[in-house]
Structure 1
Amino acid sequence: MQRVTNIVLAFLLAFSFILSDTAKAQNITESKFGSGISVVARDSSFSMKFSTRFQTLYEGVHDLEADKYRDNLLIRRARLKFDGFVHNPKIQYKIELGLSGSDIGNKDVVSESNYAPLQILDALVRYNFYGNWSLWFGQTKLPGNIERVISSQALQFVDRSFLNSRYNLDRDRGVQLHYSGKLINLKGAVSIGEGRNISEDNAGGYDYTLRAEWFPFGQFNKKGDYIGSDLSRESIPRLMLGVSYDLNDHTNRERGQLGKVLGDTRTLEAVFADLHFKYRGWSLMSEYVVKRAPEGAVVMDGAFYTGTGFNVQTGYLLENNFELALRFTEVLPAKETMRADVHQYTLGVSKYIVGHSLKIQSDLTRIEIEGEDGSIMYRAQVEVSF
């Protein structure tokens, strides 16, 4: 962990020297706020775009059962991003590093002597080898539920739903094959199945993921299918219908790529169905998931997270770029896991100053937990990305 931290700090120091020399020369970039800083080799042998972002979050929770209020102010995310091409514009890369505590904190012990360093979020090469087909190799998000694949920068609410935190596939290391058409996108992945940056030997088999997306009215503007809110104000209705299937062969982590390591392995199956709709400032996103462990979810030292979940959210973007949004989420764990059902009702208000690159978001959530009085959560967050 310390070695990786030192590497990141050394990289930042070197980059600061580059920026310092640029400042002394008084060069002015043609880049605009939110688009990063781009450079291209004179011989066109490579390119690089550097961008950075951070989120400052206030969170307060009133526990209704204990009648207590707790709050915190933290840097929810802080990221460094590098992308471009090497040798040929068809060979692209992406590197994303996390710096905040929530980005790199690791509570999951892989073994007594090994912790997974989590600074590396994405380390990926994409090769557009033929037409609309591309091959991805490295570590990145798996093609699971739509909410997880939407960048945390481009969310409609302060953060993703509780469904996502319990059932998402997250990042993993492996190979992906993508096809992007006018009406259909197809994605497939074979990955290690244990999550990002794990250096231990694979506990079981591999993870297999398939996803299909259908656009009956054509593709969204500016890749809006994976952007929260209708910032493009689509002039005609746009709809994406998606379905994903994932089979994680004998994983030892309670949620597959995430969660604590358990003393036994189980094969986990998950099916996601989702939709995303946008039209003239209106947006609607919904997803449903079923996750199960055919061999049984319960082991001696805990239980794998299985069950069902549903999330639906809708919002309207006003002409002054304020948005009002509503969300309902339910998570119903399998009874054998002895986990409580959870329902959440959320009201969100956002002000987009420069799209998702500079925005202020807040939301208020009523959390209902089976057998408890539940709680009320308020969050406010500022996003800066350039």
Structure 2
Amino acid sequence: MKSIKIIAFFILLSLPAICTSQIYLDKYNFGEGLHFSGENGYSIQLEGYAQPYVETKRYLGNYDSEIYKRFRMRRLRLSLSGNSENEKLSYRLKVDLSGTPEIDIEGEDDAGTFLLDAYLEYDLTDDISLTFGQRSTATDNRELRMSSQTLQLVERSRVTSAFSTIREFGLFADGTFRIPGGSYLKPTLTLTNGDGLNVFQKDRGGLKYGGRLDFLPFGLFTYFGQFRQVDMVRELTPKLVVGVNYSYNDGMSSRRGRESGSVLYLNDDGDEALPDYTKFGIDFLFKYKGFSMLGEFVKSTATVGNDITQRVRNDGSTSTSFLVNGIQDVENYVKGRMMLGEGYNIQAGYLFKNLISVDARYTHLEADTYSFLNNGTFYNRPNYYTFGISKYLDRNYGAKIQTSFTYVDAAPGSNDFNGDPINGNEWIARLIFSIGF
């Protein structure tokens, strides 16, 4: 039913342009969607892709343990975007039709979400634009600014799943400025509700303030290359972007600012009293003649107020118990339910001229003493080593097949997906096929 409503909404959104004047199919390239233009100069683009996915996991040391298997539609996405006649005003609507939420076994970036992007963008000048609505945020690590259809490996890194917000609702200001020598600065400022995506109920806490500054010393990337992981265009000259990002969430009701209302605390009067969350990051992307390298570092901290005296259980009841190792400790109890610590991800790969890519990644997570990153079932795994091979069937990401193998160091106290203790490390094998139009 939801899928039917969304498809109907897409049609309704397009009706004004269709009814007021004629539109024409301007161009179509496999993997780049349908591009329409109107007689008055406006444009509309419709695109989508599907990604069927297979995953198996084996817990080493537990030879009698069950091998975890998973078959599903990883993503099934449809997006509609367009520009006004003078191209100053644009919009985007993007949804995922792959199904209902599932247990977060590997911290998927947005598994089971429905409404992804929904925003309006206005170009104040040739260099500055304002966006209002829901979209990806520049205060996440660089990988989150890249489309899921263009990932270098089957899945995003664990730095992304551990610390990213993914999408937020608010106001975004983006700039692109050329400086002497052919270099560029690209600043972004964000002011959001700090509750993640799809917040249709009560707004929790205060606002989230943040920004990013990217420096491109060798000029702009070719054909959106800054927002795609593989060097599909084989840059003829070296391209590099280095960026820093920072955000401050004034009152957060979840582990990392992604799921509003999932973790709540109260003061003596029964009013909400929430911890603050700060995140800092630095990252880079380099491309040259088929070679690409991505590096990211993220660190997060929290501030817990003295006014927190109660916690809200999952069933809605409250408790004044904040026991940590048998001792009442409000601050560290609260921190133990948040994603606190640091992590870095480094990955690189080479795309051959026959469109076969060989890629590798190393990801490291280091949890604070009190942090949900110590959770034995979902995290508590400091090191991830991944090797992947991909075959692209065209240069527009219209179709590709990817496989990857990940070896995971599991720290003592780790559990399998059923919550049972494991005695060794893990192997994860993944296979995904992507087809777009």
**What is the TM-score normalised by the length of structure 2?**
0.78
Q: How far does residue 107 in structure 1 lie from its aligned partner after superposition?
A: 7.2
Report the AA paired with residue 191 of structure 1. T
CA distance in 2, matches of 1:299, 1:261: 15
Segments of 4+ moved more than 3 angstroms: 9-15, 27-30, 296-302
Bigger CA drift: 298-307 or 31-40?
A: 298-307
Q: How far does residue 97 in structure 1 lie from its aligned partner after superposition?
A: 0.8
Post-superposition Cα deviations, 1:221-278, rounded to whole Å, max 9, x if no partner, equal: 1121111111111111111101100111111111112487112221110001001111
Report the AA paired with residue 187 of structure 1. T
Q: Which of the numbers 87, 101, 106 marks the counterpart of 1:105?
A: 101
Decide whether the 8 Å contact of 1:263 with 1:300 is kept in 2: no
Q: Which of the numbers 378, 383, 403 marks the counterpart of 1:343?
A: 383
What root-mean-square deviation, in Å, do the aligned CA atoms of Structure 1 and Structure 2 show? Answer: 2.4
Q: How far does residue 315 in structure 1 lie from its aligned partner after superposition?
A: 0.5
Bigger CA drift: 258-267 or 49-58?
A: 258-267
Which has the larger share of strand?
1
2:310 is aligned to none
CA distance in 2, matches of 1:328, 1:196: 29
Report the AA paired with residue 98 of structure 1. D
2:342 is aligned to 308
Decide whether the 8 Å contact of 1:239 with 1:277 is kept in 2: yes
Structure 1 runs not aligned, ≥5 long: 16-26, 109-116
Q: Give the 3 Å change call, closer, same or farther, for CA 300–255 of structure 1 in structure 2.
A: closer
- Aligned 1:1-386 pairs, distance under 5 A: 4-11=2-9, 30-44=27-41, 46-67=42-63, 68-86=66-84, 88-101=86-99, 104-105=100-101, 118-143=113-138, 144-182=140-178, 183-258=184-259, 261-264=262-265, 265-295=274-304, 298-299=332-333, 303-337=337-371, 339=374, 340-355=380-395, 356-371=397-412, 372=414, 373-386=424-437
Give the length in aligned residue pairs. Answer: 363
Q: How far does residue 201 in structure 1 lie from its aligned partner after superposition?
A: 2.2
1:111 is aligned to none
Bigger CA drift: 303-312 or 196-205?
A: 196-205
CA distance in 1, matches of 2:32, 2:4: 28
Q: How far does residue 39 in structure 1 lie from its aligned partner after superposition?
A: 1.9
Larger Cα-atom Rg: 2
Decide whether the 8 Å contact of 2:282 with 2:296 is kept in 1: yes
Post-superposition Cα deviations, 1:14-35, rounded to whole Å, max 9, x if no partner, equal: 89xxxxxxxxxxx987412112
Secondary structure of 2:88's aligned partner: strand
Q: How far does residue 65 in structure 1 lie from its aligned partner after superposition?
A: 3.8
Bigger CA drift: 193-202 or 293-302?
A: 293-302
Report the AA paired with residue 31 of structure 2. G
Identity level (%): 28
CA distance in 1, matches of 2:73, 2:220: 35
Structure 2 runs not aligned, ≥5 long: 14-23, 105-111, 179-183, 266-273, 306-330, 375-379, 415-423
Bigger CA drift: 315-324 or 305-314?
A: 315-324
2:18 is aligned to none
Decide whether the 8 Å contact of 1:107 with 1:260 is kept in 2: no
CA distance in 1, matches of 2:408, 2:204: 36
Q: How far does residue 294 in structure 1 lie from its aligned partner after superposition?
A: 2.7
Q: How far does residue 38 in structure 1 lie from its aligned partner after superposition?
A: 2.0
Q: How far does residue 88 in structure 1 lie from its aligned partner after superposition?
A: 3.5
CA distance in 2, matches of 1:132, 1:300: 43
Secondary structure of 1:148's aligned partner: helix
Secondary structure of 2:237's aligned partner: coil
Decide whether the 8 Å contact of 1:298 with 1:304 is kept in 2: no
